[in-house]
Amino acid sequence: MYEFFSGPMLWIAFSFFLFGLAANIISTFTLSRSKDRIFYNHANAVWGIKSVLIWLLPLGSVSMRRQPFFTLIGFMFHISLITVPLFLNAHNILWDENFGISLWSIPDSISDILTIACILSGIFLMLRRAVKREVRILTEKRDYALIIITLLPFITGFLAYRQWGDYETILLLHIVTAEILLIIIPFTKLSHMIFFFFTRLFIGFEMGGRRGTKTW
């Protein structure tokens, strides 16, 4: 079982993730050529780039400055979400052993802190959904499910690193939950990891490029 999930299934998961996103991007691009001329008509590099970059800076926009605590948590969540899987030492050792290539590694102590930050901020985001009326009314079960699915690889990774519980089982769960996450990203709201850039570019073109209005 471990061999399957750490071998062929991992390939399958990565394929779903990469090809799913690629297919998504290609179909969006193709459709946009025929139906969204408005996107291209008013393209403006400076306004587009600003519209994306400023929202990637903590407290860069008025909207974020109005909700500094939520912003902080949101950034903590996203930064740890991206950093830990890519730069975790143990992951990079696996890359190196199997393919002879790897990214930089960050110290395990930092990965550990980021993992905890990710889990806590994810839990906060769920609580916020449950508590804040204007968010609760928008929330469906699958919105909670997505956060849980996102957190599971981190929770299991956290347990595996500490060797709490049955290591073999935890490690298997870690791999399986991570594979589930990779597979669903292109087909759910989590695809905003790519489409964030597309929609932000559009509003930058439309409001800034056409009217000189900031969108941050």
**Would you tell me which residues interact with other proteins (CB under 8 A)?**
27-29, 31-32, 34-39, 41-42, 51, 55, 61-63, 66-67, 70, 74, 129, 132-140, 143, 189, 191-192, 195-196, 198-200, 202-204, 206-207, 210-216
Residue 12 CB-half CA count within 13 A:
11
Q: Work out how close the CB of 205 gets to other proteins at its nearest, in angstroms, rounded to a whole number.
A: 10
Contact criterion met (CB below 8 Å) for 177 and 149: yes
Q: Which of 22, 11, 10 is nearest to 191 (CA)?
A: 22
Our CB check for other proteins shows the closer of 28 and 102 to be 28
Our CB check for other proteins shows the closer of 97 and 134 to be 134
Our CB check for other proteins shows the closer of 26 and 103 to be 26
d(CA 122, CA 143): 12
Contact criterion met (CB below 8 Å) for 203 and 51: yes
Q: Work out how close the CB of 187 gets to other proteins at its nearest, in angstroms, rounded to a whole number.
A: 9
How many angstroms separate the Cα of 67 from the Cα of each of 63, 70, 71? 7, 6, 6
For 68, other C-beta atoms within 10 Å of its C-beta total 11
Our CB check for other proteins shows the closer of 173 and 203 to be 203
Q: Work out how close the CB of 21 gets to other proteins at its nearest, in angstroms, rounded to a whole number.
A: 13
Q: Work out how close the CB of 162 gets to other proteins at its nearest, in angstroms, rounded to a whole number.
A: 31
d(CA 93, CA 99): 10
Q: Which of 70, 98, 90 is nearest to 158 (CA)?
A: 90
Q: Work out how close the CB of 200 gets to other proteins at its nearest, in angstroms, rounded to a whole number.
A: 5
Our CB check for other proteins shows the closer of 12 and 123 to be 123
